A and B are shown apart, each in its own frame.
Chain A
Amino acid sequence: MIRLALLLPVLALLSGCGTPPKYAWGHYEQMIYTAYRAPDKAPTERQIEVFEKDYQKARSENKPVPPGFHAYLGYLYFDLGKADEARREFETEKANFPESAVFMDRLLANLSKKGQEVKQ
């Protein structure tokens, strides 16, 4: 226990003295890890459910979700063929992070193309 007390200042120093994270990370990285490591444990529907909950929580705490969050969620909706939801998420990513505009516009254009293929 004494040793632990001695080590704590080191920890505090290195972790920036407890600066709270800027973003509400929720399960974003953890889910990415699971999806690659054990895809059967992270089916698309389940991921969407978890991320929508994370998003509600972040909103209730008035914290921004991290860069890429809405883009990934949009991608998951796209995977399920839910084009309207995918479009909404890509637009949100672009609105929150203008840096993403070029990539999001490309994904949005792909969505429209896909939509037309389905109609034909």
Chain B
Amino acid sequence: MKRCLLRTALYSLALALTLTGCATKYDYANYRAHFPRSILVLPPLNETTDVKATYGYLSTVTSPIAEMGYYVYPVVVADHFFKENGMPTPGEMHQAPPKKIYEIMGADAVLYITLKQYGSKYQVISSKTAVEAQCKLVDTRTEVLLWEGKVMAEEGSGGGLIGAVLSQVLNQATDHAHDVAGIANLQYTVEGKGLLYGPLSPKYQNQ
């Protein structure tokens, strides 16, 4: 428990440092004009070398977005639905016309994710695990871009004091990237940069 807490604390510090660097606020005009209630998250495009990235990341993304107050379609059911309808890969799913997705599933918006980093790199004296996902939220009826952003988190070892502590702490973890993805996903909630709170959230009215 203590180990878990320490790990989260260290991640949070790293995240805080990342976030303080960028102060420009996102322009939410389109978002507010086509405010979605329901979001379909498609399996991410994978631009990393880790074949596990697409579904490793997909399995982390429902909770942060649903907790923000959106109906999030069941990711596995949707994935199989596309596969059974002649779109076996994320690449093909991302090509499906948004209007068609609205017709067939009723989704107000689609979240398109591209994974830029997912996994660990081992160097001579250090290693790092990074997750970086670029995201676009698109209105299905008009195809207007509602939001785009990036979520990212990095965990390293061999980089000084924090790194040394982290490498000890994380040695037993089986899939670092999956854990790091959970930390990266906190960035969906960052005010002025992330998603807005949705209609199913009590925070929807006052933002």
- Stretch in contact with the other chain, from B4-12, B113-121, B128-136: B4-12
| B152 shortest CB reach to chain A, Å | 15
Inter-subunit contact B76/A35 (CB<8 Å):
yes
Inter-subunit contact B71/A102 (CB<8 Å):
no
Nearest residue, chain A, Cβ from B189? A16
Complex interface residues of chain A between 5 and 19 (CB less than 8 A to chain B): 7-8, 10-11, 13-16
10 residue pairs bridging A and B, Cβ less than 8 Å apart:
A15-B12, A22-B200, A37-B56, A66-B62, A67-B73, A68-B74, A72-B77, A75-B77, A102-B104, A106-B105
Inter-subunit contact A68/B55 (CB<8 Å):
no
Inter-subunit contact A36/B55 (CB<8 Å):
yes
Q: Which of B6, B56, B75, B106 contacts A99 (CB 8 A)?
A: B106
For the complex, would chain B's binding face be called helix, strand, loop or mixed by DSSP majority?
A: helix
Give the top 7 A-B pairs by smallest Cβ distance, nearest first.
A102-B106, A68-B74, A99-B71, A36-B55, A33-B59, A7-B9, A99-B38
Q: Given A10-B12, A14-B15, A14-B16: A67 and B72 within 8 A (CB)?
A: yes
Q: Which of A14, A23, A29, A32 contacts B186 (CB 8 A)?
A: A14
Chain A positions near chain B (C-beta within 8 angstroms)? 4, 7-8, 10-11, 13-16, 21-23, 25, 28-30, 32-33, 35-37, 66-69, 71-72, 75, 97, 99-103, 106-107
Q: Given A75-B77, A102-B105: A29 and B59 within 8 A (CB)?
A: yes
Chain B positions near chain A (C-beta within 8 angstroms)? 5-6, 8-10, 12-13, 15-16, 37-38, 52, 55-56, 58-60, 62-63, 66-67, 70-78, 80, 104-108, 175, 178, 186, 189, 200-201
Q: Which of B6, B74, B107 contacts A71 (CB 8 A)?
A: B74
- Residues on A with beta carbons closer than 8 Å to the beta carbon of B189: 16
| A43 shortest CB reach to chain B, Å | 15
Inter-subunit contact A100/B38 (CB<8 Å):
yes
Inter-subunit contact A36/B59 (CB<8 Å):
yes
- Residues on A with beta carbons closer than 8 Å to the beta carbon of B6: 4
Q: Which of A8, A21, A68, A75 contacts B62 (CB 8 A)?
A: A68
Inter-subunit contact B55/A37 (CB<8 Å):
yes
Nearest residue, chain B, Cβ from A105? B106
A21 to B71, CA, bound (A): 15
